[in-house]
Homo-oligomer: A and B are copies of this chain.
Amino acid sequence: MSAPHSTSQIRVRYGETDQMGVAYHANYLVWCEIGRTDLIRSLGPSYAEMEQQGLRLAVAEASVRYRAPARYDDVLSVETRLEKVQSRFVTFAYRVLLDEPAGPGDAGTLLATATTVLVALDDQGRTRVMPGHVREIFEQLAVRT
């Protein structure tokens, strides 16, 4: 991911830790969504209009590989990249890095990688083809990254 399009900073919350003393694994999906949202926000008003026209993107697949634990108060960075655009699907890839460790740990350590596939839904929750201009927006984003 030499040219991540979007980098989001996240500080690990106390409530995100578990009794093993590290960030609970389900939170990584929440952090990836923050990365994805930040990336999509960079599309500007186009996306909000898209939602108003009844297009929704829902998570159809998610996978995470955990490499090293995140700890309370660590500052993480989530790099998000748009990996693939299809007529009904958009695939995002993520790298979660330790940016500023709160305790021992090396800045820059890769903590996790993840991918999510999102599916385009209409306002009834049925799979649909993305409108041409929406697909184009995503394709430009994929090219730029």
* Contacting residue for A26 out of B15, B61, B66, B73, CB 8 A: B15
User: Copy number in this complex?
Assistant: 4
Contact A30 B15 (CB under 8 A): yes
Per the bound structure, the CA–CA distance linking A27 and B100 in Å amounts to: 25
Determine whether A54 belongs to the interface, using a CB cutoff of 8 Å to chain B.
Answer: no
A69-97 residues with Cβ-Cβ distance < 8 A to B are 69, 72-73
Give chain A's interface residues, CB within 8 Å of chain B: 11, 13-15, 17-22, 24-27, 29-30, 33-34, 37, 41, 56, 58-66, 69, 72-73, 125
Per the bound structure, the CA–CA distance linking A64 and B125 in Å amounts to: 19
Per the bound structure, the CA–CA distance linking A11 and B57 in Å amounts to: 20
Q: Looking across the interface, which residue of chain B has its beta carbon closest to that of A67?
A: B60
Knowing A18-B14, A19-B17, A24-B15 are in contact, say whether A61-B56 is a contact too (CB < 8 A): no
Highest count of chain B CB atoms <10 Å: which of A19, A29, A60, A66: A19
Per the bound structure, the CA–CA distance linking A30 and B11 in Å amounts to: 13
Contact A65 B60 (CB under 8 A): yes
* Contacting residue for A63 out of B15, B17, B64, CB 8 A: B64
